Amino acid sequence: MQSFWYRDVTQANFSSDIAHDLSGFLESIGSACGPETVTTDASVCGNYGQHTLPDADHIPSAVLFPDSTAAVQTIVRLANQYRVPLFPISMGRNLGLGSRAPMRSGQVVVDLGRRMNRIVEINDDLGFCVLEPGVTFDDLYAELERRGGSLMMSPTAGPPDGSVLGNALDKGGGSGPAGNHFDSVCGIEVVLGNGDIIRTGDGGLNADAHPNWHVTKYSFGPALDGLFTQSNYGIVTRAGIWLTHKPAHMRLFFFTFPDDADLAEIVELIRPIKARNLVPTLIRATNDLYLLSSQEQHPRYGSRDCSPLSDDERRDLQKRYGVGAWTVSGAVFGENDAATLRAMDRLRGHFQASGKARYISDEEARERPHLHAAVKSNSGQPAAGELGMLRWRPGDGAIWLTPGAPMIGSTVNTLQQECRRIANENGLDYMASFVCGPRFARGVHAIIFNRGDERERQAADRCYRAMAEAFRQRGIFVGRSPTSYQSFHQGQRTPEITRTTAALKAALDPNGIIAPGRYGIE
Ligand code: ADP
């Protein structure tokens, strides 16, 4: 028994109030699961603790690398015994939302992605896959292509080495027809905080085979999958995820609109198209700086005045890249090229009727690097392009604010105007993208700042809170939350909801072992 590995572990920075025995816990994990399962190396822990949010890093006291569901169960049981709080991640590429840092310093990160990275199954006929947490968007794309490409997934425009399962569990979003990723989750395996292993849906039938596990969500009893999204009741060790059958032909489209206030008209134009399903993909409306910040740095950064770009400066930038204040993107599908061209003619007539929209064709878009992220992600291909926006200002600071709104033009436009004002008042540029379905526009606001500059850190924090509060006053909530703001958002909910999430926590994780504080649940 090599107990000396853990002698140097400091417990001083444990900010959890659970009584614990960290050294005893880590020794027991090493004995039960093998020494390669544990590290307390200071530089490794330091790396896992980094994130892009305004507050200080949250450094874990150890990182664990289980290789199986059984190992995860052992870890959870020992964590209960030694009262050590865990923080599970899949690939931990949750940029702008907390990266792979735990909720609080001292929590032990359980990195599932490193060794649990099998594609368990791909079912070409029924259109689903079963994945372990470490399967990345790049991995799944490569495997689907290797099999002949009859199925496609919905990637994010975020890190291609992010986890498909982790992103879906945290209600991530992407492009294409299946852009709301949690919608595609069907049937999961979870190690609960109390150490039990459960399989949701028809996976819970006492039988040797489970042919319905990943094909229906409407099984006997309550639909439990939803309990494990944005919560801390268990550690998910595998998930069924639905895939889309690739169309014979696909044609991307882009329309640019010149003015900020055109967002109202854009939303009104998109709604009937999505309501009648004339376009199978979600349709995205992205503002100038969200789109173009990936291409260059703030032109005045480093000089004394790096105030937000003026309207004239933005117009110059738009002109240089051949876009407008808003760029609308999506794709039509068809049996052959002629069918997609016919669909495009109808769509052009619809969008260009008011005389404001300018069309950018599929062929033209492929020539323009700033549109590549949209081209790729609508085609089911992971694309890192958008992440370039972190270089708009130095210092790698980024917060994602993710409110949504009903698909009513005036509502979405008012929010846009108000958030633009708040960003500019805080000395920051307004960057936003709305991903539109028939009823709901999922909004993504990127707050990009220099994390190395205390004034910018404070400005970004003020900006996030002010925007979130402006949304709350209109009854609009965020869809995902950065870890550092989860208790703030829980405080915006009714006490009855907080009591309910706490009661579920007490039932499923009575010792509060899994990610205490995650999504405001202690
Ligand atoms: P990605 O690599 O796609 O960005 P992450 O691993 O960062 O995904 O996961 C996003 C969030 O979901 C994290 O905050 C993490 O706490 C939670 N999470 C990820 N995977 C699991 C899992 N297998 N079980 C429970 N929670 C998870």
**Atom 10, ligand 1: residue with shortest CA distance:** 166
Strands 128-131 and 234-242, bridge-based pairing: antiparallel
194 φ/ψ angles, rounded to the nearest 5 degrees: -85, 0
Contact yes or no for 37/29 (Cβ under 8 A):
yes
In this structure, the residue with its CA closest to atom 15 of ligand 1 is 89
Q: In ligand 1, which atom is closest to the CA atom of 164?
A: 3
> 134 in ligand 1 pocket by Cβ < 6 Å?
no
Instruction: Give yes or no for residue 193 CB within 6 A of ligand 1.
Output: no
Question: Is the CB–ligand 1 distance for residue 416 below 6 Å?
Answer: no
CA–CA dist 232, 234 (Å, integer)? 6
- CB of 156 shorter than 6 A to ligand 1: no
The CB of 69 under 6 Å from ligand 1? The reply is no
- Ligand 1 atom showing the smallest separation from residue 172 Cα: 3
Mutate to test the pocket of ligand 1, among 170, 485, 514, 519 (most ligand atoms within 8 A of CB): 170
Is the CB of residue 29 below 6 angstroms from any atom belonging to ligand 1?
no
Is there an atom of ligand 1 within 6 Å of 173 CB?
A: no
CA of 514 to the centre of ligand 1 (A): 12
| String of DSSP letters for 1-65 | --GGGGTT---TT----S---HHHHHHHHHHHH-GGGEE--HHHHHHHT--SSSSPP---S-EE-
Tokens of 321: 């890249």
pTM over 0.85: yes
Count the alpha carbons within 13 Å of 14 in the hemisphere toward its beta carbon: 19
| Atom nearest to 112 CA in ligand 1 | 23
- Digitized pLDDT (tens) for each residue of the chain, 522 residues in all: 333 233 333 333 444 444 579 999 999 999 999 999 999 999 999 999 999 999 999 999 999 999 999 999 999 999 999 999 999 999 999 999 999 999 999 999 999 999 999 999 999 999 999 999 999 999 999 999 999 989 999 999 889 999 999 999 999 999 889 999 999 999 999 999 999 999 999 999 999 999 999 999 998 999 999 999 999 999 999 999 999 999 999 999 999 999 999 999 999 999 999 999 999 999 999 999 999 999 999 999 988 778 999 999 999 999 999 999 999 999 999 999 999 999 999 999 999 998 999 999 999 999 999 999 888 988 899 988 788 899 999 999 999 999 999 999 999 999 999 999 999 999 999 999 999 999 999 999 999 999 999 999 999 999 999 999 999 999 999 999 999 999 999 999 999 999 999 999 999 999 999 999 999 999
- CA dist., res. 278 & res. 515, Å (int): 42
How many angstroms separate the alpha carbon of residue 166 from the centre of ligand 1?
Answer: 4
